[in-house]
Structure 1
Amino acid sequence: MTDTLFRHSEQSLTWGKGELVLDVFLEPTCPFSALAFNKLPALLNAAGPEQLQIKIRLQSQPWHMFSGIIVRYILAASTLNEGQSAVKTVMQSVADHREEFEFIDHCRGPNLHTTPEQLLQRLVSYSGVDVREIFDQTDLQDLVKRQAKYARQNGIHVSPSFMVNGLVQPDISSQDSVEEWMKKLGLAQSNQ
């Protein structure tokens, strides 16, 4: 069952089919990751899906206190038949409602009183994607561990981080424009 979940998840977290592979390591509640995430559709559109392949890598970080729960929820969404769409919807809902999923200064504020169950209910409410049944499957743990292991093996410790064809690219930033990303990736504008 884990292999099936993994295949669905990998397909859902990959956008485009190009030979140039951009791994983007994101922590869903991080403001800089949200900034990068919001630019990815425009980047893929500008480059063209035949020229670029974007792989979303979820980089859970302990100072983002709800990170583990949200990452697990996104990975649960990635196992659905319509996983790619579900992943985008859940990640966008977290980016659009960050204050509902993050602590003030990573340690205080109204979210101190939020339970994991309330957090799951918020994810369902904002995204419309209900994967609480999948979230409860023990096999999902392997997907979470694979994400963490892949990041560690590649020396990734913070988000967002970017890797091109297996090499970490410290000069690519979430604050770059899509045009700057295109130049740094050596991509020409697609004629779509």
Structure 2
Amino acid sequence: MALQPSFQKALVIAGKYDAPHTIEVFLDYVCPFSAKLSLAIDSVLRPLFAPGGKYAGKVKVIFRNQVQPWHASSTFVHEAGLAVARIAPEDFWKFSLALFKVQGEYFDIPTSSLTPLQVREKLAKLVADTVGQDKAAGFQDLLALKSSPNGGTAVTDDLKYTVKFSRQNGIHVSPTVLWDGLIANEVSSSWGEKEWTEFLEKKVTV
């Protein structure tokens, strides 16, 4: 498991960073199956890995941004998530859940008539509504285009990191789940408490 230091507070979305077992979930904000899995993470896994939970201190969950470029808005929504990870790391998962719940607004057809700036303005409103109005200005600053014609934004390097990480590890589809660094093909976005409980009983060895 590798995670650059600036992401450690935000992208470890369940459990403690030093937990020996690691679940990595590669999710795309505009993927319906990723949205399904996010609900299971929130309702099933987070309680199990929280203080007092059955696997507290034993397993952690890392969110991996999985940009799917065949959806034009995927880059913009993941930029938004990474910007929130910078300005409000403690609210990254809260924002991610909120974005998953309204993901249909960022699908291909709803965004086809919007400019990139309009998509980012829409995401800034979601930040204000979910993370706080006081964070919206900082969010917009991070997503402001640099003065050079092709310079990207302040989170472009973070976006590159996430894309390169997926590429070098051969991750293609969303969602993809890794257990201790290896792809767990058996994991399904439709899993509920029963399936996850059985999986963890087999896998947790500490």
Same fold (TM over 0.5): yes
Distance 1:110 1:67 in 2: 13
Closer/same/farther in 2, CA of residues 110 and 154 from structure 1, 3 Å limit: closer
Aligned-residue offset at 1:135: 2.1
The within-5 A match list for 1:1-192 is 6-15=4-13, 16-17=15-16, 18-42=19-43, 43-47=45-49, 48=53, 49-80=56-87, 82-85=88-91, 87-103=92-108, 109-128=109-128, 129=131, 130=136, 131-136=139-144, 138-186=153-201
The count of aligned residue pairs is 177
Closer/same/farther in 2, CA of residues 146 and 186 from structure 1, 3 Å limit: farther
Closer/same/farther in 2, CA of residues 187 and 79 from structure 1, 3 Å limit: farther
Closer/same/farther in 2, CA of residues 53 and 187 from structure 1, 3 Å limit: farther
Of all paired residues, the percent bearing the same amino acid is 28
The amino acid across from 1:84 in the alignment is E
Q: TM-score, normalised by structure 1?
A: 0.83
**Higher mean displacement: 129-138 or 59-68:** 129-138
Aligned-residue offset at 1:51: 2.2
Q: For the aligned residues, what is the CA RMSD?
A: 2.1
Q: Is the 8 A contact 2:28 2:74 kept in 1?
A: yes
- Residue 3 of structure 1 corresponds to which residue in structure 2? none
Q: TM-score, normalised by structure 2?
A: 0.78
Closer/same/farther in 2, CA of residues 110 and 56 from structure 1, 3 Å limit: closer
| 3-state SS in 1 of match to 2:142 | helix
Which segments of 5 or more consecutive residues in structure 2 lack a partner in the other structure? 147-152
Task: Report Cα offsets for 1:115-165 as digits up to 9, x if no partner.
Answer: 112211221223324211112374522211111121122221010000011
Aligned-residue offset at 1:41: 2.1
Task: Report Cα offsets for 1:31-79 as digits up to 9, x if no partner.
Answer: 0001111221221212434222100000000222200011111111101
The amino acid across from 2:46 in the alignment is L
Which segments of 5 or more consecutive residues in structure 1 lack a partner in the other structure? 1-5, 104-108
